[in-house]
Structure 1
């Protein structure tokens, strides 16, 4: 009887070994990214929130400079914060004290809360910054991160100084949302929370206009990237919340100066949504359109994006 125990354990060991091998390329890439972000004067930090109900992982400055403005970068879907801001962080960290949170259920951030709203995400980032003792800062959010920074600006009006929103369809009426989903022609959840390498390639192709980077990424790497995501269920619930009907949901007009940046060739959120957001925010907002750039402006035009962000946020800072 006892001789059967090793045979029962062996498959589990093999599965664990296979899982580790499958994630090895991604884990190695993460280690290299961590070294690069360290070179950019950033170190990992974990902050416990809500009586330890939520743990937020953040990258924070090694040396905070009082002569630099503070800037919080908030990512969207498609990996954690390091993958999304890798092409921007070196330049931005020279001009700002950079803070980069992993949103809840992305990277190493987690919560036992059942909340799946962008307002909850915003509260977690605001609370994390408060725990770090940062009293004033500007925010920059891309795609899903744009929803989050908008809510941050609303709830922390005296703390958030300026707002940058990149390719984020915040002002979306129910009629337009329904029309958009019909035109989209795909299951949004499958695109944003891919389970197969080809689904990941679909997301890359839809996000990029100038080139398709996904065709150079081998299947084994994409499988490892998918396997490394331990929060698929929660990510799906976050998407479902954004898609559900919310006829009485209101997005107020922000009091802060706001810069809207949009890729002219965005195939996920069409550029007419940028003009709609600009009209909604009124004279305290400014709109910049990046020509021949798709949804992933952070990948296709990082230097142009950085220039716009730096000029806008730094204006009037002393």
Structure 2
């Protein structure tokens, strides 16, 4: 068996280092693909690093709890029990990780695509040449491509991954004249065409789920599989008046309380996360675009639409059990023969709060290759 490195992953473009919050297995323990190994903190979130393909024994821990290591740094080693200690020691001594010009290991790369007069920011990760279909990720209202950081890290070793900042969000053009989900679905389709993507797996969260459902309905040959994560548009009610409160929140305390509605574990709402959101909200064009989206959502809630039979049969719906924005009962209104899962103990952001999400997504994609 090859000796396998455990390294600090990059969860987001701005991440340069991670703090070891705690190891979840001890040296000598047998681990398999998907097992949770270590919790790592960043300024924006605390995530769990999982064992990748294969398995073996945790032979070394090289970064104890509380230590900070740069992205890409070696923090542990997995190998069969039969691998000699000398071979493990030689692997550690010779280990070198690639660094970019900023000193951080290579991660997702940013790219700008011009579509319909908008500059659309795209994060691309994974192998440049691959027989696997790419996975396309679309964030929710007020979010950005970095919301998918843990999914990008989990999925990109095996396939190309493309995370898109919808116009009005992230690093894309901020002022959008007609920010409706139909508009965004057309923009996403044209971005993918510009990138040379003719078929892909698509996953959308919340408002992005509504966008992706419209995309799939209008472009069934493009979408090999569709994953909807706590999607919007299924009911006239929006819990806790989240959208209205988010649009109206102009100070740190208020915004932190509103963002806390997204999570069951509100400790995930860090000061850095709130500061980043405040800075984004203050950019010219953002508030006007968010207000237009909010007004449109209020008018259309409960008009999700119908997925074509062929698309519904390759659709996965994932919902957080504790979602305060859209309760999991909404999933029963998804038309057609979609596969449905509730993730226990998490809120509106299961792709952030639970590693179970990436396992569900990975298994589903593998069945619809």
TM-score in terms of structure 2 length: 0.66
Look up the match of 2:243: 188
Which stretch shows the higher mean deviation, 285-294 or 220-229?
A: 220-229
- Is the 1:57–1:101 contact (alpha carbons within 8 Å) kept by the matching residues of 2? yes
Report the 3-state secondary structure (helix = DSSP H, G, I; strand = E; otherwise coil) of the residue aligned with 1:262.
strand
- Is the 2:127–2:159 contact (alpha carbons within 8 Å) kept by the matching residues of 1? no
Count of aligned pairs: 272
Distance 1:132 1:185, change over 3 A: closer
Alpha-carbon distance in 1 for matches of 2:110, 2:273 = 29
- Is the 2:227–2:318 contact (alpha carbons within 8 Å) kept by the matching residues of 1? yes
- Is the 1:169–1:274 contact (alpha carbons within 8 Å) kept by the matching residues of 2? no
Look up the match of 1:251: 305
Q: How big is each residue's C-alpha offset from its partner over 1:109-148, in whole Å with a ceiling of 9 and x where there is no partner?
A: 2276521210110110110000111111010011111011
- Is the 1:142–1:165 contact (alpha carbons within 8 Å) kept by the matching residues of 2? yes
The aligned runs of 1:184-263 (5 Å cut-off) are: 184=239, 186=241, 188-192=243-247, 194-214=249-269, 223-224=278-279, 226-227=281-282, 230-245=285-300, 251-254=305-308, 255-256=310-311, 257-263=314-320
Look up the match of 2:113: 47
Look up the match of 2:329: 272
Look up the match of 1:151: 214
- Is the 1:41–1:63 contact (alpha carbons within 8 Å) kept by the matching residues of 2? no
- Is the 1:80–1:106 contact (alpha carbons within 8 Å) kept by the matching residues of 2? yes
Alpha-carbon distance in 1 for matches of 2:198, 2:282 = 38
Q: How big is each residue's C-alpha offset from its partner over 1:208-267, in whole Å with a ceiling of 9 and x where there is no partner?
A: 1134333655976664454357511111111111111579x5612232210000011111
Alpha-carbon distance in 2 for matches of 1:221, 1:111 = 15
- Is the 1:264–1:294 contact (alpha carbons within 8 Å) kept by the matching residues of 2? yes
Deviation for aligned residue 1:56: 1.1
The aligned runs of 1:98-113 (5 Å cut-off) are: 98-110=161-173
Q: How big is each residue's C-alpha offset from its partner over 1:130-187, in whole Å with a ceiling of 9 and x where there is no partner?
A: 0111111010011111011101101111111100000113333xxxx1xx25xx4546
The aligned runs of 1:1-318 (5 Å cut-off) are: 31-32=14-15, 39=105, 41-50=107-116, 53-61=117-125, 63-82=127-146, 84-110=147-173, 114-172=177-235, 177=236, 180-181=237-238, 184=239, 186=241, 188-192=243-247, 194-214=249-269, 223-224=278-279, 226-227=281-282, 230-245=285-300, 251-254=305-308, 255-256=310-311, 257-277=314-334, 280-281=335-336, 283=337, 285-301=338-354, 303-317=355-369
Greater relative contact order (Cα < 8 A, sep 6+): 1
Look up the match of 2:61: none
- Is the 1:169–1:273 contact (alpha carbons within 8 Å) kept by the matching residues of 2? no
Which one has the bigger strand percentage? 2
TM-score in terms of structure 1 length: 0.76
- Is the 1:79–1:106 contact (alpha carbons within 8 Å) kept by the matching residues of 2? yes
Which one has the bigger helix percentage? 1
Which stretch shows the higher mean deviation, 234-243 or 62-71?
A: 62-71
Alpha-carbon distance in 2 for matches of 1:250, 1:268 = 16
Report the 3-state secondary structure (helix = DSSP H, G, I; strand = E; otherwise coil) of the residue aligned with 2:156.
helix
- Is the 2:321–2:345 contact (alpha carbons within 8 Å) kept by the matching residues of 1? yes
Unaligned runs of 5+ in 2: 1-11, 18-69, 73-99
Which stretch shows the higher mean deviation, 136-145 or 84-93?
A: 84-93
Report the 3-state secondary structure (helix = DSSP H, G, I; strand = E; otherwise coil) of the residue aligned with 1:72.
strand
